[in-house]
Amino acid sequence: MRQIFFDTETTGLRAEAGDRIIEIGCVEMVNRQLTGNNLHLYLNPERDIDEEAVRIHGLTVEFLADKPKFAQVVDQLVDFLTGAELVIHNAAFDIGFMNAELKRLGRPLVTDFVGGVRDTLLMARDMFPGKANSLDALCKRLEVDNSNRTFHGALLDSELLAEVYIRLTRGQDALLMDDHGSSGQEGGDTRVAAIDFSRFTLPVLAATPDELAAHEQVLADLDKASGGKRVWQTAAPGEAAPAA
């Protein structure tokens, strides 16, 4: 299964009011293993950026001035996302911005070419009702290291989301890649071979005389403490046990 952890940074909060995407981060995972085949794009929004947004992500108009426009990367982006399941934290926000950008170009909407959309915010709210479920809160709760997250960044946030998702879904404790993009595990989820316990003969260990004597003493103490009302009694060797 191919999944893309997807995040955007934008000029503001309202796509319907003309705010634009300025950064896109995509982290690929296939069969629950990170591949290292990621996509990271900075975009020229062709408009100003809200001051509050700059405080969150640190991206300025000056930095983005020489970056490509969305129309210049749309084919690359659509090709990368096609057929994959998108995993997004607060999916409505990012999908809303993506669809607004695609509509400007007369292109199909996101759900027309991806394999599906999974919202980790909704997943977290189901698992941790009444608790904070921001990405930072989930990183802290699930012990994902987000110490490098001084600013919000689309690629960094997508990488953190991949770790959070794996822990939310209990697949494995962490996603670690070696220099070749391998997590060090063969295959996807861990599988344990079935064991036929009928092949084993289990030993029966008899109690020693000392252990039997200690057991009888415990029963006698119980009988005394209950005023002779003990229900179950042992019989001497060769005798039938008294009826309860």
152 flagged as catalytic: yes
What type of residue is 105? Answer: L
Note whether 2 and 21 are within 8 A (CB): no
Kindly tell me the sign of the dihedral angle through the C-alpha atoms of 204, 210, 211, 213: positive
Query: What's the mean pLDDT when you consider all of the chain?
Result: 84
Q: Is 240 a residue whose pLDDT tops 60?
A: no
pLDDT, position 178 = 43
Distance in angstroms (rounded) separating the CA atoms of residues 13 and 244: 76
Note whether 98 and 64 are within 8 A (CB): no
Confidence grade of residue 223 (pLDDT, cut at 50, 70, 90): confident
Confidence grade of residue 222 (pLDDT, cut at 50, 70, 90): confident
pLDDT, position 10 = 96
Lookup result for tokens 């001497």 = 236
What region does 135 belong to: left with phi over 0, alpha with psi -120 to 50, or beta? Answer: alpha
The active-site residue, picked from 57, 89, 152, 180, is 152
